[in-house]
Structure 1
Amino acid sequence: MSEKYKIRDQQKIYFVTFSVVQWIDVFTRSQYKDLLITSLEYCINKKGLEVYSWCIMSNHVHLIVGRCGQFKIEEIIRDFKKYTSVSLVKAIKENPSESRKEWLLWIFRKLAERSAKHLKYCFWQNEYHPIELSDSVMMRQKLDYIHDNPVEAGFVGEPEHWRYSSAVDYAGDKGLLCIKFIE
């Protein structure tokens, strides 16, 4: 990982993005997005991940995160990516409605063949480029960026209308994940 993108202070809050290899649109089915939600809930409840903002798009995930507890942020992210990559490939394999099953698995398998890190399938791009949010201006900019992502993509007209985002929480309703609010 580049020196520029390192988690240097475990007490700080970070903006991170996970992208599917080749930017493949995998999260077009609720089943796959729900798997990510369940995994994030686990990380929140069992590993001390603090989620301040989140959004699942068709081929990537944005988060603003911190931590409380014994696990380092990079350990939580590593475990999250490892678990979800295996779980998502399994869900794709077992989904009788997945029309792109063979194609998706072929790509994930081919990319794993080129990697010393992956045994069978490569789902996520390796990097997640944590950016420390050192002041309220940066926090607000990244928060708005995350919540505006589905609007910019043309999926919804208002950020809070995207079900797979914390924008609904910031609009005053209850979203899918228990988040901490950025003041």
Structure 2
Amino acid sequence: MELVTPEIGLVFWTTVSFLILFFLLAKFAWKPIMKAIDERERSIEDALLKADAAKEEMSRLTNENEALLKQARAERDQILAEARKLKEQIVAEARTTAQTEGARMLELARIEINNQKALALTDVKNQVAALSLEIAEKVLRKEFEDGSKQDALVADLLKEVKLK
């Protein structure tokens, strides 16, 4: 039973050595250990506070970035709308100008065609008149080769003419 129940001397010396060790630890090691633990606890708290601050800053920056993106998208949409409007206006102006120019060119072509037609008709009339005169002259020469026919024609013409 010796193994189960310790002797009084062993208990005494164990207690004395424990108290000496406790005193030495309390005197020399306890304060630095507690100080290190306190510093570690403070550094962890500071790190947590800084992490929270960084998280809040990231949240704020994210919100600002989203606001800037919304603003940029709105500006982009406005610029695109203005560009479309300007394109439509330019196309409409070009179409109007082309129609006006086309109508003007058609009118000039009509006038030119009418002028050329009038010139052609005048030329044809002149040629017909010249041919008619030539034919009449040839016919009259043939008719008037004989002098008696000329006298008869002059007499007939004088009968028709009435003096007033």
State the TM-score bracket (shorter-chain normalisation).
Answer: under 0.3
- TM-score, with structure 1 as normaliser: 0.15
The structure with the larger Rg is: 2
- TM-score, with structure 2 as normaliser: 0.17
**Larger helix share, 1 or 2:** 2
Q: Which has the higher contact order (CA 8 A, sep 6+)?
A: 1
